[in-house]
Structure 1
């Protein structure tokens, strides 16, 4: 992980988009740029909270360990924030880890400055509340899926979600995030072997096409049907 003096920023992240115009200069004074290589971890579960990270380019997986198994909580892209789960009045450590999935550039601000920014910029506080609400809703949906959907159906739901989130800038139908089957399994909540088999079944039914780490959604109607089909239906 390489930290360097902040250079020009396009101010496209969540924080910069919703602060007062005159506060952008303060952000430029307090932020640091961090360059990561693919596979480089920049947050470790249980470490003291240092601050908040905003993605300027690249992709990041947010994950945690449950016993000896890794679970991926979410994937994040340009403009999104990582490390906010460490904001709490009752704890001072990160409850998650975060790792770059590709060459990635981050903007980092220390936690005290970020909290001051929230106090001074009500629009940012409001947008952050909505961000937390959306993230909570998605987490609850994933928990419900574990109880109500088969692995194949959870995989269909996950592929549709990933396509919706990462479709920008890619050819129609493709998921704009290349994932290993190991990471996809950790996101769906199953094993590598099972996700490999389920991908093959979806491909055989012409729902998707798989080319190494690239996934093309060939039949979204079928995937939508699977994603809403609960056990026993």
Structure 2
């Protein structure tokens, strides 16, 4: 991308250990983060102070964009789900890039539009889905995001983390997963989950316009 090399030299790269928090919700914004290698969960404090997972990110994804340019504090928090390499462009550098590199600004505009569309779709889906459907939708999303190797999704998530993303409780997630295993739709090995009947799972939530 033209004009970007001089900005790339200004990035700050660092490694986060698994479970390490690198964005604190409510802290002053210190630019944008990009995942170079690894996996991250983005969280937001919900009702009764409970953290809700609003997004998972992996290689090449952007973290910390919510509130950037419109707020002086992060609207979310972020944790590494495994040892993760990140790079950060501070506020000043990011503003210079947006002003001087039209191709990047255009890509960011499309990115924001896509994220807004996803958020609106998720709100509609959650409002109309029952617990089983929300868990299935979450498992399909995680599979789509991280892929599957040797019949297991390429990420270790606790049942609580699945619940925090699906908008339900750990106990309900455990019950739904047990039910899906009995129906041979999924399998589990420790915390890892593998989807065995993806098309059947998609068809179960098709009325909610699964994408």
How many angstroms apart in 1 are the aligned matches of 2:62 and 2:24?
16
- C-alpha contact (below 8 Å) 1:153/1:229 kept by paired residues: no
How many angstroms apart in 2 are the aligned matches of 1:154 and 1:226?
11
- C-alpha contact (below 8 Å) 1:149/1:229 kept by paired residues: no
Runs (5+) with no aligned partner, structure 1: 1-18
State the shift of 1:133 in Å: 1.5
Query: How many residues were matched structurally?
Result: 207
- C-alpha contact (below 8 Å) 2:39/2:56 kept by paired residues: yes
State the shift of 1:132 in Å: 1.1
| Partner in structure 2 of residue 192 of structure 1 | 170
Match of 1:227 among 190, 199, 205: 205
State the shift of 1:23 in Å: 2.3
How many angstroms apart in 1 are the aligned matches of 2:133 and 2:92?
43
How many angstroms apart in 1 are the aligned matches of 2:145 and 2:134?
16
Match of 1:203 among 155, 159, 181: 181
| Partner in structure 2 of residue 53 of structure 1 | 33
- C-alpha contact (below 8 Å) 2:7/2:93 kept by paired residues: no
State the shift of 1:229 in Å: 4.4
Runs (4+) off by over 6 Å: none
Does residue 53 of structure 2 align to residue 75 of structure 1?
no
- C-alpha contact (below 8 Å) 1:173/1:217 kept by paired residues: yes
TM-score by length of 2: 0.93
Root-mean-square deviation (Å): 1.5
Matches for 1:27-42 after TM superposition, within 5 Å: 27-28=8-9, 30-42=10-22
Runs (5+) with no aligned partner, structure 2: none
| Partner in structure 1 of residue 72 of structure 2 | 92
TM-score by length of 1: 0.84
- C-alpha contact (below 8 Å) 1:44/1:97 kept by paired residues: yes
Report the secondary structure of 2:149's partner residue.
coil
